């Protein structure tokens, strides 16, 4: 009874004395170390994410953005108040154009008086 292979040849490294599935084959560790598994890649990505210098900056940036939005809201409110107030002076554009052409301060004062006189 002689079914056992006594001197096998490895199809990976072509060396005699072991078979291709043997873990001690020099070709096996080379392949494994150079081809990272999905889990290994994921672990590397997570480590890189933790090391990312941009991550700690996220919080202060968000706070700054909230302040900007509040600022814009305040500006819109101010514009609305000014716009509503300007509606009370329908001749403001006409008078401002006349103010540019005014030759002296008295003329300018008279024009400004017209502004308030026309308001309801």
Window contacting Zn ion (CB under 5 A); options: 12-20, 43-51, 61-69, 97-105? 12-20
The residue from 12, 91, 114, 118 that contacts Zn ion (CB under 5 A) is 12
Closest distance to Zn ion from the beta carbon of 3 (Å): 22
| 8 sits near Zn ion (criterion: CB under 5 A) | no
Supply the minimum distance, in Å, between the C-beta of residue 29 and Zn ion.
Answer: 11
Could you say whether residue 118 binds Zn ion (CB under 5 A)?
no
DSSP lists the bridge partners of residue 16 as 9
Residue tagged 């080379």 (tokens): 30
**Residue partners of 18: CB distance under 8 A and separation at least 6:** 8, 10, 24, 25
Q: Is 13 in the site for Zn ion (CB under 5 A)?
A: yes
The span from the first CA to the last CA of the chain, in angstroms, equals 121
């Amino acid at each position: 009874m002689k079914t056992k292979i006594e001197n096998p040849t490895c199809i990976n490294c072509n060396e005699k004395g072991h078979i291709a599935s043997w873990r001690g084959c020099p070709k096996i560790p080379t392949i494994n170390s150079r081809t990272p598994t999905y889990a290994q890649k994921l672990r590397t990505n997570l480590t890189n994410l933790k090391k990312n210098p941009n991550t700690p900056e996220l919080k202060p940036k968000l706070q700054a953005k909230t302040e900007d939005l509040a600022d814009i809201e305040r500006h819109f409110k101010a514009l609305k108040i000014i716009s509503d107030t300007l509606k009370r002076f329908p001749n403001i554009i006409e008078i401002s154009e006349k103010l540019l052409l005014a030759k002296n301060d008295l003329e300018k004062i008279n024009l400004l008086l017209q502004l308030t006189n026309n308001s309801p």
